[in-house]
Structure 1
Amino acid sequence: MHQALSESLRQQLLAIAALAEEPAIPDLTTRPVFILSPASLLGTTHGPQIAKSTTGLVAVVDDMSCEAVIHGAPRWSSMDFLQRAAQYANAVAIDFSESPADRSHMAELCRRASIPKEDCVIAQAQLGMVSVYETVGDYRLKTLERLDDFLRLADRFADHHSRATLYANLLFRLTYDRSYMLQTWANPIEEYFSSYAAPSTFRLGSQEHYCDCGAFQGPIVSKFLGATNYHYKSITAFEPDRANFEVLERISALPLENFRPVNKAVSSRKQTLRFMETGTVSSYVSAAGTATVQTTKLDDELEKLTFLKMDVEGFESKTLQGASRLITNQRPRIAACVYHYAHDLLDVVSQLDKSVDDYHLRLRQHNGSYYYDLILYASPITGVEAPAWAA
């Protein structure tokens, strides 16, 4: 299945890239607008700015909230929308829904109401809004600039699912159509590693020296403990945000053996940087930051490493640079986020190639509704099982 899908998506990608036409919504800022699923993560994050940028916002459509007003507009139910939307000529609905069920519901709702539905990402691009840390438009342009590099990388992946995942992700970047990614969507529960009988990411061994870079408040550390049944060699967790770190330190009601939380950021060298400290998953290095953070190199912090997880807001390639000795000598498996910036995937693979030349690469998209959770899986051995030295 994935082989045929991969080839089909590749051909669609080449055709769309040749056109190089950026989608747009005519008269977005002046025509009547409805916002669908305003309380979703995407709706909460990006909906308010779109609401402020359009002079014709009529209502938001949400069946779950008890609020009368969301994003400054009256809340309608789906039935309200069906009964009242037709009176607004030339109206358009901007869709922020995320789950397949919600997206299908909103598509059917708009079909029955005869109101055209457009994706929120098109609106974000048109209004110059961010994707993750780059604007949606810049993310698209940078993808086009290095499309040939992405296509060459696809040929290096170890399986057809990975190639299909990359093509679907690139199609989304160019068209702003999130539905492409649902065709290759990988189980979110298996992100980084899995406890399932037939995993598609990695299975952990009982001798792991695990390093969590961007540990937040410890959800993946907790997942690691469950996946290994507390049978491991060591855990080192880096989290620069002080509020998050305080929670991370108290992650377990039981004393954990060989668990070392570190209140630093990871990078290619030691330095002090400005830091936007938010107490959320999105704390990040920024010149506009209100706090400072000390960075460190993994080569200076660790002697043993079998599994490296990285979600460090675009610092993944720098983290690999600072871990070149460990990667060359210890040959850990790596699960790296590659979605914060358009070239993250290319940069991470390029940096990894400087330390090892024989790693097997796979790619999975664990979020089927946005840029988030595109993960590169790199291993010194084929397949999903732990190597002998970590088993």
Structure 2
Amino acid sequence: MKANAAALEAELSRRLAAYRAGRDWRVLEESAAAALDLTGRPVALLGAGSVLAQPFVAAALARLDVRLLVDNARIGQTMGGHVMAGDAALAAVAAATPGLIAVTCAAGEGGMAHFTRLADGLGLPVLGLFQAMRRLDLHHIAGDAALIDHADPDRLVTALERIAVKGWFQDAASRAALAGLALYRLSWDDRWLAGLRDPGGIYFGSDALDVGPDEVMVDGGAHTGDSIADLARHTGGRWRSVHAFEPDPANADKLAAAWGGRADVILHRLGLWRQSGELRFNGAGQSGSALADDGDMLVPVRALDDLDIGPVSLIKLDVEGAEAAALQGAAATIRRHRPKLALSAYHRAGDLADLPALVDDIQPGYHFRLRHHGAAWFDSVIYATWEGGSGKGDGR
């Protein structure tokens, strides 16, 4: 069932008015979770090894009555004086600990669903990671370097105000996606995601983007080649060329093994950035590998404008929060060729407004459409086509 844009917008308007009246995030949640207070309650942290959750986990260990850390991938490891346990330990602790609250720290779709089911099955009240961070006011100290700023409602409210002024995302599907995502990110209640997921699939299956056999694609954040495989499914395996950018050495090796046999897939073992040089990087051979000030390795980065790859018809960016920097480094390419853009817009809380604003500054005249492709807060994508391009629908 498709989400109803008008109904979602009306509910969003009501909640925003209530929030602006008192700046109390509890009016945004409006659920059983809103009454949960972590102070003075025993807590179990589920998926405690999640990289995203580490600032929260550190604060929780210092400030809360933490009784158990659960992480099935790190059983036996020690964190803050606690030995991490597997799922089975939760039942025993829950039975022996009246008033126990579970916090799901996992960031991935599978982990979130798994730990929520585990806690629900034991009758434990559950808070999501972002809900728990609000209760410790972590969103006021985390800053832009992490996804944690998603816990701060003011960041999203500001983005929504900018979007309204600019008039972006005006087709019906974009309006529903924006209002539904806003309600979800303000409340962290996943019922607002019902009907939002684009049935066509991310990027090339979306109704917001046309692709064909003549594409020259820049694949920023190519990972192990999953986006290239998806493009192949939608074009019959035909394109002029794909320039695949992947700075993680382990991922790049897998990418080369999968697609190195095709002369029209050019692998660039580097990241895209606003300027060329070297930056620190956390490389784990995973989809979440990212540039980071405390990264464990140095990787080369390049501005797309510094590379001689000729006319470009499509730029896809899923670069773990570096989308804005990559766009800045591609400004001349965008002005010259006006390619279609597919931009991941969930790594930073302001992406929904910051990315279209940046594209507008680089080259006015793009139409913007928003689609959501995930079962949680990730995989929201902004599709942009220049007004003379081949995008579908009315995205003004």
TM-score of the aligned structures, taking structure 2 as reference length: 0.77
CA contact (8 A) 2:102 2:119 kept: no
Counterparts of 2:10 and 2:173, CA distance in 1: 12
Q: Partner residue of 1:57?
A: 67
The aligned counterpart of 1:193 is 204
1:150 corresponds to 2:163: yes
Question: Match of 1:258?
Answer: 264
**What corresponds to 2:211 in structure 1?**
204
Counterpart in 2 of 1:22? 25
**2:9, 2:179 within 8 Å by CA — same for their partners in 1?**
no
**Structure 1 residue identity aligned to 2:99:** N
**Superposition pairs of residues 171-182 of structure 1, within 5 angstroms:** 171-182=183-194
Question: Taking structure 1 as reference, are residues 226 and 132 closer, same or farther at Cα in structure 2, changes over 3 Å only?
Answer: farther
* 1:223 corresponds to 2:230: yes
Structure 1 residues 72, 219: CA separation in 2 closer, same or farther (over 3 Å shift)? Answer: same
Change in 2 beyond 3 A, CA 1:4/1:251:
same
* Residue number in structure 1 paired with 2:382: 376
SS at match of 1:251: helix
Relative to the length of structure 1, the TM-score reads: 0.77
Q: Counterpart of 1:123?
A: 132
Structure 1 spans left out of the alignment, 5+ residues: 386-391
Q: Decide whether the 8 Å contact of 2:134 with 2:152 is kept in 1.
A: no
Alpha-carbon deviation of 1:278? 2.5
Unpaired segments ≥5 residues, structure 2 = 27-33
Equivalent residue of 2:371, what SS? strand
Equivalences, count:
365
The superposition leaves residues 23-72 of structure 1 with CA deviations (integer Å, 9 ceiling, x where unpaired) of 4665525423456xx46x9979649938856435369799xx9x899973
Contact kept? 1:61, 1:76, Cα under 8 Å: no
Q: 1:335 aligns with which of 337, 342, 356?
A: 342
Percent identity among equivalent residues?
Answer: 25
Match of 1:273 in 2: 279
Aligned mates of 1:171, 1:42 — CA distance in 2: 28
Q: Distance in 2 between matches of 1:68 and 1:290?
A: 24
1:135 maps to 148
Task: Work out which of the residue numbers 303, 316, 320 in structure 2 matches 1:309.
Answer: 316
Which residue of structure 2 lines up, in the alignment, with residue 2 of structure 1? 4
CA separation of 1:226/1:215 partners in 2, compared to 1, >3 Å: closer, same or farther? same
What is the RMSD computed on CA atoms of the aligned residues?
Answer: 3.8
> For 1:202 and 1:293, how far apart are their aligned partners in 2?
32
How many angstroms does 1:331 deviate by? 1.9
Q: Which of residues 366, 372, 375 in structure 2 aligns to 1:365?
A: 372
**Would the aligned equivalents of 1:125 and 1:135 in 2 still touch at CA under 8 Å?**
no
Q: Aligned to 2:258, what secondary structure does the other structure show?
A: coil
Q: Distance in 2 between matches of 1:137 and 1:95?
A: 16
Q: Are the equivalent residues in 1 in contact too, given 2:276–2:302 (CA < 8 A)?
A: yes
Q: CA deviation at 1:244?
A: 1.5
- Secondary structure (helix, strand or coil) at the match of 2:356 reads helix
For the structure 1 residues 268 and 96, does the alpha-carbon distance in structure 2 shift closer, same or farther, using more than 3 Å as the test? closer
Match of 2:99 among 86, 90, 93: 90
